[in-house]
A = this chain, B = another copy of it.
Amino acid sequence: MKTRITELFGIDLPILCGGMVWMSTAPLVAAVGNAGGLGLLCGGIYTAETLAAEIDRTRALTDKPFGVNVPLLWPPAAELMDVIIEKNVKVVFTSAGSPKKFTPMLKDAGIKVGHVVPNAFLAAKCQGAGVDVIIAEGSEGGGHVAFDEVSTMVLTPAVCDAVDIPVIAAGGIGTGRQIAAAFALGAEAVQIGTRFIATNECEGHTNFKQKILDAKETGTVVTGKKFSPVRNIRNTLSETVLQMEGEGKSANEIMNYIGMGRTETASVKGDVDNGNVQAGQISGMIDDIVPVQALVERLIQETKECIERLGGLFKS
């Protein structure tokens, strides 16, 4: 499965594991690389020092390429970029900010740059800013989602039509049928999140993984629509926030109620009632916890079978 993305990143398979807070740590990122894809560390939980250590930990587990996702709103973003360049990381995805800020510097250092977008207008802006790839993230995805709420089915081809550079589809992808669909829509790789949490290598808490296994496809909800929309699995926290939103409570009141550290509460401490269980709608289709290598092999096999089935459609 060669595409412009596999060429660009020097990887065997067009399957990426997105940078997920507390989840996309060295063991998962390295395992995805070792399986032929590309994993990304999640910059948004690190200082320059702890990111450097996590990069080293990843390198100890793989000699394959990997990347770092840096949300530009994260205060130490600039320091993280210095570490990334110093440590010779090959790929950086930026999000939640302007791609103009760091793209030239990163590209000068020989790093491939992608930017995450929720609509076609921003995709065109990113291309203008010189990024190498666009990550088009549909609203069914887990974690931070855009105010726009455009789904992968529409977003992927709309973004592909708006740019010439290759596009990576994200949001709602966890089986080979969805990978084949993403390619049909014009993507040249997929970025998968939630499905990779339900793996042996992911360091997230067992309770969090169990919450994904238990969820139905209707089991997630977007909270924080007034300030920072996040898709997460329904629980005590999300129901309370939804109720406050329905009552017209202000963004400040809701943010004060939520407080800090709710993702860590769920992901690290395992309190999946009071923590923020960030996961996508694909949770409803995830029924097992498997090693990354087995998962990636399954995904490729399913994709192949799906594309063969499609080929038969016009033959009869």
Contacts and interface: CB of A to CB of B under 8 A. Distances in A.
B175 A157 contact: yes
Classify chain A's interface size. Answer: 35 or more
A184 B248 contact: no
A61 interface: no
Interface string A12-51: 0000000000000000000000000000000000000000
A45 to B, nearest CB: 27
A311 interface: yes
A183 interface: yes
A217 B159 CA distance: 10
Contact of A150 (B178, B181, B281): B281
A148 interface: yes
A217 B306 contact: no
A311 B315 CA distance: 13
A265 B82 CA distance: 57
B217 A120 contact: yes
A290 B306 CA distance: 32
Nearest to A150: B217
Interface in A183-212: 183-186
A157 B178 contact: yes
Contact of A313 (B119, B152, B183, B248): B183
A256 interface: no
18 contacts: A120-B217, A120-B284, A138-B151, A151-B151, A153-B171, A153-B172, A154-B178, A155-B217, A158-B217, A158-B284, A158-B285, A180-B181, A181-B181, A181-B185, A184-B184, A307-B313, A310-B310, A310-B311
Given A151-B172, A151-B281, A157-B178, 7 more contacts: A120-B217, A151-B153, A153-B172, A154-B282, A158-B285, A181-B181, A184-B307
